[in-house]
Amino acid sequence: RIQPNLLDILSKTKYIENGGNEMKPLLTITNYGHSCFSVTYGDYTMIIDPYRENSIPGLPPLHLTADDVFVTHEHFDHNARSAVKMKDKAVPSPFKLTRITCAHDKEGGRKRGMTDILLFEGENLRFAHFGDIGESLTAEKKDHLKDLDLVLLPLGGFYTINKNLPAVLPNF
């Protein structure tokens, strides 16, 4: 169901000067594996869900730098704040954060606890990181997530979203 038109995405890409005559994208997303992403907007960088070294088989240790670190929940494969060096002169976030609490499992959080969907809004941009949600979203939660410009989905693992993807996501 999620099949954005690549031309639409590319046509919305904005660039800013990067010293001299060089230009750099205004928004850059990097997936480091599992649930870890960096989002850079201009000079501001956030890291979401950094994982602890040796917690995810096959993934290298993280050595990242950012203005902010956000975690969806306090499991060791999502909360390695120490893997991120904070900038000496942090750039203020251009985004407002809303946390949408969800169950990490199909049993209302009784097995794995609770987790958050992180909804960021600002600079005419709305995006969400879905973390390790394990429940089907209620109509109210889906309503909060309407009209997203970007969705960050950790997919394919035992603790991340798996084959039940259609059940947990709103219709985009």
Please give the structure tokens belonging to residue 163: 């084959």
Residue 164 predicted with pLDDT over 80 = no
Amino acid found at 86: M
Model confidence band, residue 21 (pLDDT cutoffs 50, 70, 90): low
Residue 160 predicted with pLDDT over 90 = no
Burial class (CB in 10 A: 0-12, 13-18, 19+), 89: exposed
Amino acid found at 1: R
At residue 1, the pLDDT reads 32
Model confidence band, residue 51 (pLDDT cutoffs 50, 70, 90): very high
Model pTM? 0.82
The pLDDT mean for the chain works out to 82
Q: Between these two residues, 59 and 5, which has the higher pLDDT value?
A: 59
Give the HSE-up count for residue 74: Cα atoms under 13 Å, Cβ half-sphere: 1
List phi, psi (to 5°) of 48.
-115, 130
Contact (CB, 8 A) for 64 and 52? no
Residue 112 predicted with pLDDT over 90 = no
List phi, psi (to 5°) of 86.
-80, 140
At residue 43, the pLDDT reads 94
19, 52, 119, 161 from 134: Cα distances, Å: 44, 22, 17, 7
Q: Considering only 52-56, 81-85, 92-96, 124-128, which range has the smallest mean pLDDT?
A: 52-56
